[in-house]
Structure 1
Amino acid sequence: MQLNQEQLDQFATEGWLLLPELFTPEEVDLLRREAVEIYKEEREEVWREKDGSPRTAFAAHKYNEAFRLLWRHPRMIKPVEQVFGEPVYLHQYKINAKSAFTGAVWQWHQDYGTWKRDDGMPEPRAMNISIFLDEVMPINGPLMLVPKSQEAGDLEASHDLETTSYPLWTLDEATVTKLVEKGGIVAPTGKPGSMLMFHGNLVHGSAGNITPYPRKIVYLTLNACSNHIRKPTRPEFIAHRDFSPIECVEDDALVKLARSQSRQAA
């Protein structure tokens, strides 16, 4: 899969790009079912909100076959390699949950700020690329992005260890206000299977979810192999140490797994 010039130009200018319904309902149904099962597990990779509901599950490719295939899927990998002009490796893998009624806030932040401070990543040559597992709507805590904010570079941040169960290097209100005055705020929404990619320095966050509609999103953090982390401080299941270039699976790998599971269940 390759991005066209219009898509490349939008990413370069705005810092983000949404590809609607890139994965099929059959593929998404498989991933959604597997994500729900993962959230039921009691393991160190599954982090929870303060009320016990799931917040994020790390490194699912290590213990789940469907997500092992997804992290090597060409529809996710090839666009990022195209932008960076070199092979990429998997720096981080997580399945974020915004549970119905209880999903908590993600404060305003830049991802590269965390990757630099906590993992020793030299440059912002990594990005998040994500798949919507549920419909993302304006009402169920969509990711909010500040277009063009990647142009501000790496901003000063504070380490918030209190607001939620997940520590973040967060931005102050004055900084966010100034950036929003320039770029505004967008909240990409879409059907399950849509894919969002955004620059490592793009400012973003999300509000809590008080609706009956859950919002699960898979995030791959893909880093240029030449930009591998130097001084990781977080566990390996959060900041991976395997810097090998990703070798893609076949495009129909998820479909084959879904159909295999259906035959076994019949």
Structure 2
Amino acid sequence: MKLTDDQITQFEEEGWIFLPEAFSSEEIAVLKAEAERIYDEDRPEVWRETSGAPRTAFAAHTYNEAFGILGRHPRLIEPLEQVFGEKVYMHQYKINAKASFTGDVWQWHQDYGTWARDDGMPEPRAMNISVFLDEVFTFNGPLMLIPRSHRHGVLQAGHDISTTSYPLWTLDNDTVTRLVDEGGLVVPTGKPGGVLMFHGNLVHGSAGNITPFPRKIVYLTLNAVSNYIRTPTRKEWIAHQDFTPIEACEDDALTKFASTYKHAAE
């Protein structure tokens, strides 16, 4: 899947693009089922809220076939190869959840700020490309983005290790207020199967989910192979140290897996 000139222009200027209906309902159904199965597992890669609800499942592509296929899918790999002009490898892979009623916040932050400080990533030549597994509404803890904030480079941040169950390099209120005054706020929403792509320096965060509607999103953090991390400090299943370029699978690989999965369930 290639981006259009207009999409590339929006990405460069605004720092994000949203691609609706990039994956079919059949493909999403099997990913949702497998995500719930992973969340039920007792393994170190699955992090939970203080309530016990799942927060994120790291490295699912390494122990789950469906998410392994998604991690090589051309609809996700090709747009980033197009933007970076080179092959990419998997820096991080996670399935983030906002459980109904109990999903906690993600504070305001830049992803590259963490990748640079904790992993020794040289340049912001990595980014998240994500797949909606549930419908994302304006009211169930959607991601909030500050357009054009990526143009400010790496901003000063503090290491918050206490607010939630996940440590982040977070921005102070004055910085966020200034950036919102300049760029406003956008909240990408859409049906399951939509794909959101945003710059590694784009400031973003999300509120808690107190609705009955869960929100699961898969994030592939793809890094240009020349930009491999130099000084990793986190566990390998959080910040991968296999810098092998990803070879995309066939476009129908997930559809074929979903068909096999359905027959096996019957």
Indicate the TM-score class for this superposition, using the shorter chain for normalisation: over 0.9
Match of 1:127, SS state, is: strand
More displaced 10-residue stretch of structure 1: 255-264 or 178-187: 255-264
2:187 alignment partner, SS class: coil
Answer yes or no: is 1:259 the counterpart of 2:259: yes
> What residue is the counterpart of 1:19 in the other structure?
19
Whether 1:69 aligns to 2:69 is yes
* Structure 1 partner of 2:177: 177
Equivalent residue, structure 2, for 1:208: 208
1:34-45 matches, cutoff 5 A: 34-45=34-45
The offset of 1:62, in angstroms, is 1.1
- In the alignment, structure 1 segments of 5+ residues that lack a partner are none
5+ long unaligned stretches in structure 2? none
Partner of 1:29: 29
**TM-score normalized by the length of structure 1:** 0.99
Which residue is 2:108 aligned to?
108
What one-letter code is carried by the residue in structure 1 that aligns with 2:89? Y
TM superposition shift of 1:265: 2.4
Q: Give the match for residue 123 of structure 1.
A: 123
DSSP 3-state at the match of 1:31: helix
Give 1:262 shift. Answer: 1.6
> Equivalent residue for 1:58?
58
Task: Give the secondary-structure state (helix, strand or coil) at the position aligned to 2:26.
Answer: helix
- 2:10 aligns with 10
Report the 3-state secondary structure (helix = DSSP H, G, I; strand = E; otherwise coil) of the residue aligned with 1:208: coil
In 1: Cα distance, 2:41 partner to 2:8 partner: 39
CA deviations over 1:138-169 (Å, ceiling 9, x no partner): 01000000000000100000000000000000
SS of the residue corresponding to residue 121 of structure 1 reads: coil
**1:164 is paired with a residue of what secondary structure?**
coil
Residue aligning to 1:93 = 93
Letter in 2 for 1:241: Q
SS in 2 for 1:101: coil
User: How far apart are 1:15 and its partner, in Å?
Assistant: 0.1
Shift of 1:108: 0.1
* Deviations 1:172-211, CA, capped at 9 Å, x for gaps: 0000111000100000000000000000000000000000
Matches of 2:191 and 2:42, distance apart in 1: 30
Pairing of 1:126-205 with structure 2 (within 5 A): 126-205=126-205
Q: Which amino acid aligns with 2:183?
A: G
**TM-score for both structures, normalised by structure 2:** 0.99
* Letter paired with 1:67: F
1:27 CA drift (Å): 0.2
Percent identical residues: 70
Are 2:112 and 2:200, in contact at CA under 8 Å, matched by a contact in 1?
yes
Indicate the residue corresponding to 1:232 in structure 2.
Answer: 232
Quick one: distance in 2 between partners of 1:62 and 1:222?
15
**Cα deviation, residue 264, structure 1:** 1.9
Q: RMSD over aligned Cα, in angstroms? A: 0.5
Displacement of 1:241: 0.4
* C-alpha distance in structure 2 between counterparts of 1:159 and 1:265, whole Å: 45
Runs of 4+ with >4 A deviation? none
Deviation digits for residues 65-92 of structure 1, max 9, x if unmatched?
Answer: 0000000000000000100111100000
Distance 2:163 2:114 in 1: 16
